[in-house]
Amino acid sequence: MTPQDALDKVFAPARLAGLALRNRVIKTATFEGMCQGGVPSDDLVAHHARMARGGVGLSTVAYCGVSPDGLTFPDQMWMHEGVFAKLSELAGAVHREGGAVSAQLAHCGFFSRNRPQNIPRPRGPSACINQYGLFSGVPFAGAMGDADIRKTLNEYRDAAAFVKRAGFDAIEIHMGHGYLLSQFISPATNKRSDAYGGSLDNRLRLPLQVLAAVREAVGDDFPILAKLNLSDGFAGGLEIDESCRAAQRLAEHGLNALVMSGGFTSRSPMYLFRGESPLQQMIPLETNPLQRTAMKWFGGRLFADSPYTEMYFLEQARRVRQATDMPLVYLGGVSSRDSLQRAMSEGFDFVAMGRALLRDPDLVRNIQQQGERYANGCTHCNQCVASMGLPGGIRCVLNRPESFAAVR
């Protein structure tokens, strides 16, 4: 495949299960911070409509919680009738711009500072110290029992039917980054001795059951993607060999496409982001004084600068490409025309982008018009990560340099 053929493939119409897309560029799920009190805002609608207006084929709404006890903190939304009208409005806005929209269904498991009524503590695969909730009144997490698992499967099923009814075109099941399903998959956090722990097949049991529940809710032609770690990014976690086998199992169970990612929010966030640490911008935005102090003293261990290179997950992603014929979405360090070309040349089916699209929502159209002259300008400063906590939500600070003026 020549470089021009690869670029033509990126921007040509494509299909994902029963969905026709205008190109192979996906706006990946990056938490928007636009649901104050759990209510989707006009900013959230405008954010995804803007991505579609710029030419993105599929825009992903981040962290659509499947239940109130599946939220990391209160300013996230969960799928219930109170958010239906706004999500329908969002889907319609994206469609009017010629794009398609996906909902990332998620559950936090034990990683939570949230304490809904009648839920004494968050639950995950195994009992543990919940470091994220240590200073917020939820320092301990319990192990899910059979009733919890049945409840969670029903919640995923209901949430999938809900977002399809709201007009969404696809679903991404979040199986990465240290949230519930990732906690079950990772040997570092799953210490169970029953049918849901031990071997990889057992650790995959709940994720595969969730996939089946979502499929039951949406039907055979509706696209289901999953985000899966290539590696958890720390010793003792999921590594690439097991990730390849997990991809094979997901393909066998009817997954339509796999978004390849990495890192644990609670242990190795910079493994995903790469580039400069956003810690100094995050600290002033923390409202809990104990948590803010902990971030000052210990945050440098989690949020250390990490060298950025284009396509930093490529070597691991190649391993998955060799392991399965399932459609694969390349994610990780794509901010240039050459990287888009290379992703297609390497045999991946779609390309997902986050920071580069925050920097330039018109990236797709600008590359098509400017060709080799295009330069995205993202510096990988990762201050967009901290901006999730600002009024109005996520933004590129290069585009809005005043963003942090009030908190510095």
Q: Which of 70-79, 97-106, 194-203, 287-296 has the lowest mean pLDDT?
A: 287-296
Which ranges in 139-234 belong to alpha helices (H)?
146-165, 180-185, 200-203, 205-218
Share of the chain above pLDDT 90, in %: 85
Q: How many domains, in total, are found in the chain?
A: 1
Q: What is the pLDDT of residue 286?
A: 85
The strand pairing partners of 19, in sequence order, are 16
128 falls within a domain: yes
Domain membership flag for residue 258: yes
Are the C-beta atoms of 291 and 396 separated by less than 8 Å? no
Query: For the whole model, what pTM was predicted?
Result: 0.96
- 387 occurs within a structural domain: no
Task: Find all residues with CB under 8 Å of 317, minimum gap 6, and list them.
Answer: 230, 260, 328, 330, 332, 346, 348
Residue 92 structural domain: 3-272+309-377
pLDDT tens for each residue of 82-129: 999 999 999 999 999 999 999 999 999 999 987 665 566 789 999 998
In the predicted model, is pLDDT for residue 290 greater than 90?
no
Q: What is the rounded CA–CA span in Å between residue 295 and residue 303?
A: 10
- Distance CA(404)–CA(386), nearest Å, equals 9
Instruction: Report the pLDDT value the prediction gives residue 120, as an integer from 0 to 100.
Output: 63
For residue 57, the 8-state DSSP code is S
Mean pLDDT across 176-205? 98
Residue 406: its pLDDT value, please?
A: 56
Is residue 328 very low, low, confident or very high in pLDDT (cuts 50, 70, 90)?
very high
| Residue 168 falls inside a structural domain | yes
Residue-level pLDDT at 1: 83
Residue 114, in any domain of the structure: yes
Query: Is there a domain that residue 146 lies in?
Result: yes
- Considering only CA atoms, which of 206, 203, 332 is closest in space to residue 272? 332
The answer to whether residue 404 scores a pLDDT higher than 90 is: no
Q: Is there a catalytic annotation at residue 179?
A: yes
Judge whether 250 and 208 are in contact, CB under 8 Å.
Answer: yes
Average pLDDT over residues 359-377: 96
Q: Which CATH number do you get for residue 164? A: 3.20.20.70
**Helix 314-323 / helix 240-252 crossing angle, nearest 10 deg:** 40
pLDDT above 70 coverage of the chain, percent: 97
- Are 358 and 332 in contact by the 8 Å Cβ rule? The answer is no
Alpha carbons 331 and 333: distance in angstroms, whole number: 7
Is the pLDDT score of 408 beyond 60? no
Segment among 24-28, 228-232, 285-289, 331-335 with least mean pLDDT: 285-289
Report the relative pairing of strands 128-129 and 140-143 from DSSP bridges: antiparallel
Catalytic residue among 63, 132, 156, 179: 179
Judge whether 72 and 80 are in contact, CB under 8 Å: no
- Give the mean pLDDT of 259-274: 95
| pLDDT for 407 beyond 60 | no
- The answer to whether position 115 is within a domain reads yes
Contact 159, 79 (CB under 8 A): yes
167 has a pLDDT exceeding 90: yes
- pLDDT, residue 36, reads 94
pLDDT of residue 296: 87
Would you list the DSSP string of 270-326?
HHHH-BS--HHHHGGG---HHHHHHHHHHHHHHS--B---TTTTHHHHHHHHHH--S
Q: Is residue 398 part of a domain?
A: no
User: Confidence band (pLDDT; 50, 70, 90) for 292?
Assistant: confident
